Structure 1
Amino acid sequence: MQARETADTAAEIEAIKVVKARYCRYLDTKDAAGWRGLFADDLVVELDMMPATGGADPMTAPPIVGADGFVSSVLETLADATTVHHVHGPEIELTSAATATGIWAMEDRLVYPGGRSLLGAGHYHETYEKVGGDWKIKTQHLTRLWVELTGDWSGAALSD
């Protein structure tokens, strides 16, 4: 019985890893439908745009509720940017047959026309739920350890 549970657990964790890999690829290729399909409808996202300061960072965005609004907002903000998102070192734990938590180390680069760019690193803290047999991202909190901005960011919005 233990071997079966271990195989099932490994398969579920691998399925969550595939969701996160697709998250990066769909975001960077601006595949709106593919990216939207990775999220639970009632998604809640928190984005710390500068290194985290326990919520005191004036660049911490208010929570975004709902996958449709999150996807359209991020893709609109990044429409003219070339982006590269990398994640690694997943710490995934199944909390039930249909829920899980995960922490991913991340690095992102956003390059806009005109010389403006962002290079950052931090962590995605996420929860997942299984919906119709597929794992979906339920909550996400991006915390940043380091951000390097180049170019003129005055009046510009930062996004994932």
Structure 2
Amino acid sequence: MARLRSLVRTSRRWSIRRWWTEGTRGTESSRRTPARRGISGEHGPCGGARGSLGFESNPNPPAAARCPPRCPMIRGPGNRQKRAARSKESSMRDLEDRIQAIEDRTAIVELTGRYCHMARTGNVEGIVDLFCEDGVMESGDTCEKGHERLLGVYREAFSGLRPLPCVHNHDITLDGDHATGCTSVEIRMVHEGEAITAAGHYDDTFRRVGSDWKFEHRDLTIYHQVPHLKGWA
């Protein structure tokens, strides 16, 4: 009886080993031999057997053999909408920044032009109001800071002559609420009945105060200042 039981156990072990070996060989063979599409009895990429026309004969293949779903992070319509929204938002910010830069440059150019008109009319208080409270005006050996000192400088400068400045060639660099610029200037004036011509440029530093741009520092460099009849060269 014991011998019979031993033979049964041995037979079972050999049967299991044979089943496992044949199954493994079959799997390796199927892996090495790619299936052709459209041939009856073969399996498609999704696990179902294909008929002679290549259609799936098994509409419900095993879950493990089904094709994986598309990744929503790559092709989902919701992600396309999000990307489009982000792109639109970025474009709007870029457009707003460009419009703001145009407005700032225009305001600074108008500031320099307003300075010329104030000088032409002799409006000392108006000129000083174009400067920051701690604004500086520098020209040659003269360097004054603050509204009180600037009032004295311009009153003295306009006491004996009336300049007619014309500015052009604006070169402005923006940096948030600050800016720098270089502006060419030609000045015509009459001194003791004689026409005088001068030319030079301003090196300016600007600052945004509230919603307005003002001069933080003006440095005037004069190239020449000579009688008009004599000429500058």
What TM-score, normalized by structure 2, do the two folds share? Answer: 0.54
Structure 1 position 119 matched with structure 2 position 193: no
How do 1:25-64 residues align onto structure 2 when only pairs under 5 Å count? 25-47=117-139, 60-64=140-144
Deviation by residue 1:36-93 (Cα, 9 ceiling, x = unmatched): 210011112221xxxxxxxxxxxx2142122331233223321242320000010011
**Residue 147 of structure 1: CA displacement?**
2.1
Which residue of 103, 106, 109 corresponds with 1:11?
103
Identity %: 27
CA separation of 1:80 and 1:146: change in aligned 2, threshold 3 A: closer
The 1-side partners of 2:98 and 2:130 are apart by 25
Q: Give 2:210's aligned residue.
A: 132
Superposed CA RMSD in Å reads: 1.9
CA separation of 1:75 and 1:110: change in aligned 2, threshold 3 A: farther
Q: Give 1:73's aligned residue.
A: 153
**What SS does the corresponding residue of 1:82 show, helix, strand or coil?**
coil
Which residue of 143, 147, 150 corresponds with 2:221?
143
The unaligned stretches of length 5 or more in structure 1 are 48-59, 151-160
The 2-side partners of 1:109 and 1:64 are apart by 24
The 1-side partners of 2:126 and 2:159 are apart by 16
**Residue 131 of structure 1: CA displacement?**
1.1
Aligned letter for 1:118? I
Q: Structure 1 runs of 4+ off > 4 angstroms?
A: none
**Residue 117 of structure 1: CA displacement?**
4.6
* Bigger RCO of structures 1 and 2 (CA < 8 A, at least 6 apart): 1
Deviation by residue 1:115-137 (Cα, 9 ceiling, x = unmatched): 34531111100001111221110
Larger Rg: 2
Deviation by residue 1:3-58 (Cα, 9 ceiling, x = unmatched): 221111000110111111110001110122321210011112221xxxxxxxxxxx
Q: Which has the higher strand share?
A: 1
Asked whether the equivalents of residues 41 and 68 of structure 1 are also in contact (C-alpha less than 8 Å), the reply is no
The 2-side partners of 1:118 and 1:40 are apart by 31
The unaligned stretches of length 5 or more in structure 2 are 1-92, 229-233
The 1-side partners of 2:201 and 2:152 are apart by 22
The 1-side partners of 2:225 and 2:137 are apart by 19
Asked whether the equivalents of residues 116 and 166 of structure 2 are also in contact (C-alpha less than 8 Å), the reply is yes
Aligned residue pairs, count? 137
What TM-score, normalized by structure 1, do the two folds share? Answer: 0.77
How do 1:77-116 residues align onto structure 2 when only pairs under 5 Å count? 77-96=157-176, 98-112=177-191, 114-116=192-194
Q: Which has the higher helix share?
A: 2
